[in-house]
Chain A
Amino acid sequence: MNTLNLILCAVAAATLDICALVLILTAYSERRSCKKRWDKLTGTMELAEQSMTYPLVCDEILIGRHASADIRLPDISVSRYHAMLTVSNGVWVITDIGSKSGVFVNGNLIKQAVLRENDTINIGVRRLIFRRRSDSYVR
């Protein structure tokens, strides 16, 4: 194989490299549009607690004390697996999954409840506010 052929092989390989790179960049650009779509679907909501905010980025979110919980509240008054947040058709629902201290929405003890903007959720001694997100957080 002569030098010209070697150069051609290297050029073909480089073209494939560049193509792969462009497709990776496209994936990053599409991530933004996917995030916008998700926000439109879920109403760009988050749970806020004093200085902490928890963006809701999945369709099922576990709240609890356990290390595997999506929103971890390390407090003895919170059960290891306390409550579950789910979204369907843009509506967020909180469900008590067998906690000891219960889940309170706007002061009412609930087993399952539909959440509305600015609802207050009490889980053990922790107080969370379900509100619209103002930042542009990207997961």
Chain B
Amino acid sequence: MSANPISFAFSCIFVIFAHSAMLVNVFINGSYESLTPVITLAAAVLFLDIAYFVIIPFFRQSSYTVDFLLLLILNMSVIFQSCFGGVRLSVKHYITVIAALAACRAGYLLCRNYKWIQRQRKYFYIGIGLLFIIILTLTGSRRMWISLGSITIQPSEFIKPLFILVCATSVTAQQKKHKILCFNVVYENLALWGLTAMICLLQWWCRDLGSLPTFLGIYISGFLFRICYPKAKLSKKTFILAGIVLLAAALAAMKFAPAYVQERLHVDIWSDTNGNGYQQSRALIGIANGGWFGKGPGNGYLCNIFAHDNDIVFATVCEEWGLLYALMMICVILIMLAIPLINPPRSYYHGTIAAGVCAAFTVQMALNIFGSCNMIPFTGVTIPFISSGGSSMMASGFMIGMLVAAQSPIFKESAPKQKKVKSMRRLAQ
């Protein structure tokens, strides 16, 4: 149970209260023919709330705030997705939400003990390698999806948490320098550079350049933590050189980008409303139609547009629930990411994890929201937890589990190692 049962109980009540207020709004303003879908939706949301509150105390964490915020945002997304085009429970989205919660628990259990996880570092490299092979062999010609009947999986989403783990677990390995010719080389730094380059190439090969900034965001946050690590020797020259390389790479990428990317970079959506600017122009009209308080759940027009529930989900929420509610939805995600500022991590490993997860989510949200508002080129990246999609949802859930682990870490050595130490002491005696 929580160290403070009163604040735990209050948090539970207020999360249920927030969802209930949304459900009342659906009941009064929503578009439905009979009451059955509204009752089903309310039952599903409240059941998930209560079930999760009953389950999480068994995990004995020292902090539950991120879990509360996760549940708040996930059930908000269930209500949003269930109201697009008329109120009915979106069963597929509900199942992916449960999968995300399960992935969050898995992420927490895996990442909480950094002494243990640092010894498992090689498995993360192997995991990323396997995902590379799966993408190159099973997704078909230059695609990022694997189709299994009615289900499609995007393996590249699962690279994100593994990449964060590689960055975080290799921070301390920086002190192991090796002399090659006249250079002091850190193998882990070279491996991370190579991995980043390979991910960039893979994204280009899969024509999924929209996800590239997310990976670069994770790498940059990991890089910043590496140069802050004790004795990593913060060098202004390295800093300036890295900045110049990054700027040159960005300029080169813009100059030599494929034709379909160039088109998106220079598209005028209002002169091409039925071509490249189709989704963005409808999204902007939808946001304007919604105003501050929206047209009511299920009363929007954007649900008829392709990818209304993932690529332009921000605009769809704005149209049905209003700009105020959509901005608050984003605020809730940002608060979840900002919790490590209130309760700072106690190790560089957990700090790097928190920074990597925050970078990934912030970049993804910025790409989606600014892209659908025509402020930057449209990329088709999802908003974590709000957009539909099982792979994205599970990967995001796992990453939040890593954030939970950074809030409730374990610093004890694992039992087998202690036994080993005892046996060594006996030998010494």
Q: Interface on A for B, CB 8 Å cutoff?
A: 1, 4-6, 8-13, 15-20, 22-31, 33-34, 36-38, 41, 57-62, 66, 68-70, 81, 84, 87-89, 97, 139
Contact = CB atoms under 8 A, between A and B. Distances in A.
Given A1-B29, A9-B29, A26 B18 contact: no
22 contacts: A5-B296, A8-B24, A16-B21, A19-B14, A19-B17, A22-B10, A23-B11, A23-B14, A25-B7, A26-B11, A30-B62, A30-B65, A31-B343, A33-B3, A34-B63, A34-B407, A34-B408, A37-B3, A59-B346, A59-B411, A87-B411, A88-B115
Interface string B139-157: 0000000000000000000
B339 interface: yes
B348 interface: yes
A66 to B, nearest CB: 8
The 7 closest A-B pairs by CB, nearest first: A33-B3, A62-B230, A15-B21, A19-B18, A9-B293, A27-B65, A12-B21
Interface of B: 2-4, 7-8, 10-11, 14-15, 17-18, 21-22, 24-25, 28-29, 62-65, 68-69, 72, 76, 115, 172, 175, 228, 230-231, 233-234, 293-296, 321-322, 324-325, 328, 331-332, 335, 339, 342-344, 346-348, 407-408, 411-413, 418
B415 to A, nearest CB: 11
Contacts of B115: 88
Contacts of A66: 234
B68 A23 contact: yes
B346 A30 contact: no
Contacts of A60: 172, 230, 347-348
Contact of B64 (A16, A28, A30, A31): A30
B407 A19 contact: no
A69 B3 CA distance: 33
B11 A12 contact: no
A20 B68 CA distance: 10
Given A6-B293, A9-B321, 18 more contacts: A1-B295, A5-B29, A5-B296, A9-B294, A16-B21, A16-B328, A19-B14, A20-B69, A26-B65, A29-B4, A30-B63, A30-B407, A33-B3, A33-B63, A36-B3, A37-B62, A57-B346, A89-B412
Given A5-B29, A30-B62, A68-B228, A12 B347 contact: no
A17 to B, nearest CB: 7
A25 B14 CA distance: 12
Nearest to B331: A20
A35 to B, nearest CB: 9
A61 B230 CA distance: 8
Nearest to B28: A8
Contacts of B63: 27, 30-31, 33-34
Nearest to A30: B63
Contacts of A139: 344
A29 B7 contact: yes
A76 to B, nearest CB: 19
**DSSP class of A's interface residues: helix, strand, loop or mixed?**
helix
Contacts of B18: 15-16, 18-19
Contact of A30 (B4, B293, B324): B4
A62 B231 CA distance: 8
Given A26-B10, A26-B11, A68-B228, A12 B325 contact: yes
A41 B72 contact: no
A25 B11 CA distance: 9
Contacts of A69: 230
Contacts of A24: 335, 342
A36 B63 CA distance: 12
B25 A9 contact: yes
Contact of B230 (A1, A23, A70): A70
A67 to B, nearest CB: 8
A138 B192 CA distance: 35
Contacts of B348: 58, 60
B25 A12 contact: yes
Contact of B24 (A12, A59, A62): A12
A70 B232 CA distance: 13
Contacts of B21: 11-12, 15-16
Contacts of A62: 230-231
Contacts of A15: 17-18, 21
Given A33-B62, A60-B347, A22 B14 contact: yes
A38 B346 contact: yes
B4 A9 contact: no
Contacts of B322: 9, 13
A87 B76 CA distance: 41
Nearest to A22: B14
Nearest to B65: A27
A24 B295 CA distance: 30
A13 B233 contact: no
A117 B226 CA distance: 32
Given A23-B72, A27-B65, A84-B231, A13 B4 contact: no
